[in-house]
Amino acid sequence: MPRRLCQKQNRKMRASLLPAARVLVKTYPLMSSSSATPLSSGTAGPLRGECRVPGDKSISHRALIFGALAVGRTRVSGLLEGEDVLCTAEALRALGATLTRGSDGVWTVSGVGVGGLQEPGGMLDMGNSGTGARLLMGAVAGHNITAFFTGDASLCKRPMARVTEPLSRMGARVVARQGGRLPLALTGAADPLPITYESPVASAQVKSAILLAGLSAPGQTTVIEPLHSRDHTENLLRHFGATVTSEATETGGRRITVTGQPELIAADLIVPGDPSSAAFPAVAALLLPGSAIEIAGVGINPLRAGLFETLTEMGAAIEFKNTRIEGGETVADLSIKSGPLKGVTVPAERAPSMIDEYPILAVAAAFAEGKTVMHGLSELRVKESDRLAAIATGLEACGAKVTIEGDTLIVEGTGARPKGGAKVAALLDHRIAMSFLVLGMAAERPVTIDDGATIATSFPDFVPLMNRLGGAITEAAL
């Protein structure tokens, strides 16, 4: 489908979002040719104070989806109300679940039970969200209904075959553009088949889609992955009463099995702060001399904490306080103080635990002393943008020395501030946009991004939060 038609469908679906959603996303709408929001960040003073970042995006999607597949009412506190998650909420309404947001910010999901989704009357517009699209494909694949999926211009470029291929083995039928790209039509299986699927990539989205489809299949559905990807789906399946096992394989991977046709029971939960969002104020505080901030209630699931592990190896002063368990996830308050960083080598096996954080890590590496070598980044090629290329292009424009060798990114820092002064193309990618705004806060000269609209997909409060801490991010003219 031509991009213009895809975007037109997006605008029609987005117009139907609940009134609260309109309020939440009106400042930074998804990008279109007429709604770009150029932003500039200049040299800031020390960052000071306490903050709380939005709820974890990965868990927010899953909380709504599992709540919709459970029997009864699930109350979700701390939900990320970015546009990605709101698109998932609207899609679940179209599939028959009831979702409401209270005045206190708590969401209530009245589920339809496993096998209870209904056929939607229109397109399911997933906006910019690969997570929402791939997970809902898995849920729909276990139902004898047909759903049409689309997204914004960025999402329509992203490959979906890695999910639709195993779902087809389970009995779903898919009609899609070349490469399995959106828009696509998916008809779920009348009698879903349990499968054992050996995934070629360590992808929580692929794993989750198969496990979600497996809920409707008799017997056991198994995913074998080469490395252990984030396990929020497994944690939430257990939280809602499903039987899930997870064990190491002889080759260092993971075998995850769900027993199908359970009755999921509604279970309230609190969504922890997103470590991917916490990464931006954390790195900014590390880079700006004299900074000292605290970020409350951040999820530090070991399969998501790769960035903090790497920054600590680089010499970062990060302290984890008040560590506790909430909703099956490990949570802590982070205390961060500025200080010098040194280059390190990041092994490929760490990539699944920090795949979304490489853009901001590369920014930190540009300020560090010595070479930072990041291995195993092929997955960055198929994110909201080709993040590997976007990182290198942006850093080079800001005066950093960068090399790409296959799926390895090498940033050579001097321990001094990069010159900055560049205009960087965000490429419809919220993490690229935020990363280079952080760079501009600590560089010699301001950095401008062509569009910050998609920041709303994961961190609607990013600009005011950073400015409250002492940042200097403003709207810009290109």
Question: Residue 13 falls within a domain, yes or no?
Answer: no
Kind and range of the H or E element at 275? helix 275-287
Residue 121 and residue 246 in one domain: yes
Q: Which of 270, 305, 329 delimits the end of a domain?
A: 270
Residues 249 and 143 in one domain: yes
* Spatial separation of the C-alpha atoms in residues 43 and 472, rounded to whole Å: 7
* Predicted structure pTM score: 0.83
Residues 41 and 133 in one domain: no
CA distance linking residue 73 with residue 106, whole number of Å: 12
Note whether residue 18 is domain-resident.
no
**For residue 478, what pLDDT is reported?**
65
Domain boundary residue, one of 233, 251, 270: 270
Reading the block at residue 117, the tokens are: 């989704």
Residues with Cβ within 8 Å of residue 413, at least 6 apart in sequence: 341, 343, 365, 366, 367, 368, 369, 370, 371, 372, 400
Query: Pairing mode, if any, of strands 107-110 and 48-51?
Result: unpaired
Q: Is 356 found in the same domain as 336?
A: yes
Instruction: Report yes or no on 388 lying in a domain.
Output: yes
Per-residue HEC secondary structure of 159-172 comes to: CCHHHHHHHHHCCC
pLDDT at 355: 92
**Of 325 and 46, which is predicted with more confidence?**
46
* Residue-wise DSSP of 116-180: -----SS-EE-TT-HHHHHHHHHHHHTSS-EEEEE--TTGGGS--HHHHHHHHHTT-EEEEEGGG
pLDDT-above-90 percentage for the chain:
84
Residue 448 lies in a domain: yes
Whether 282 and 260 share a structural domain = no
Tell me how crowded residue 421 is: count the other CB atoms within 10 A of its CB: 15
Side-chain-side CA neighbours of 396 within 13 Å: the count stands at 12
Are 101 and 36 members of one domain? Answer: no
CA 67 – CA 417 distance, rounded (Å)? 47
Give residue 286's pLDDT: 98
CA 210 vs CA 48, 192, 214, 241: distances in Å: 44, 11, 6, 18
| DSSP strands (E only) in 391-470 | 401-405, 408-414, 423-424, 447-449
Beta-carbon contacts of residue 2 (< 8 Å; ≥ 6 apart): none
pLDDT in tens, 220-271: 999 999 988 999 999 999 999 999 999 999 988 999 999 999 999 999 999 9
Q: What confidence score (pLDDT) does residue 159 get?
A: 86
- State yes or no: is 125 an active-site residue: no
Residues 46 and 61 in one domain: no
Could you read off the pLDDT of 122-141 as tens digits, one per residue?
999 999 899 999 999 999 99
Residue 116 lies in a domain: yes
| Cβ contacts of 473 within 8 Å, gap of 6 or more | 39, 40, 41, 437, 441, 463, 466, 467
pLDDT tens, residue by residue, 43-73: 888 999 999 999 999 999 999 999 999 999 9
- How far is 82 from 468, CA to CA, in rounded Å? 20
**CA end-to-end span of the chain:** 30
All residues at 6 or more sequence positions from 193 whose CB lies less than 8 Å from its CB, including other chains:
169, 170, 171, 217
Give the domain-ending residue among 241, 270, 299.
Answer: 270
Does residue 8 lie in a domain region? no
Pairwise pLDDT comparison (314 vs 7), residue with the higher score: 314
Are 285 and 227 found together in one domain? no
Residues 295 and 279 in one domain: yes
Q: How many residues does the chain have?
A: 478
Other C-beta atoms closer than 10 Å to the C-beta of 418 total: 25
Over 90: is that where the pLDDT of 372 sits?
A: yes
- Identity of the amino acid at 441: M
Is residue 349 scored above 80 in pLDDT? yes
- Does the pLDDT of residue 13 top 70, yes or no? no
User: ω before 226 within 30° of 0 (cis)?
Assistant: no
Q: What is the DSSP letter of 265?
A: B
Our count of domains for the chain comes to: 2
Which residues, other chains included, contact 397 with Cβ-Cβ below 8 Å and sequence gap of 6+? 422, 423, 424
CATH number at residue 202: 3.65.10.10
249 and 383 both lie in a single domain: no
Domain hosting 84: range is 57-270
Check residue 20 and give its pLDDT.
Answer: 32
- Does some domain include residue 2? no
116 and 137 part of one domain: yes
- The answer to the question of residue 20 being in a domain is no
Residues 6+ apart with CB under 8 A from 214: 142, 170, 192, 194, 195, 220, 221, 258, 260
Maximum average pLDDT range among 1-10, 28-37, 279-288: 279-288
Which is more confidently placed, 26 or 426?
426
Which entry of 356, 450, 451, 461 is annotated as an active-site residue?
356
Residues 46 and 124 in one domain: no
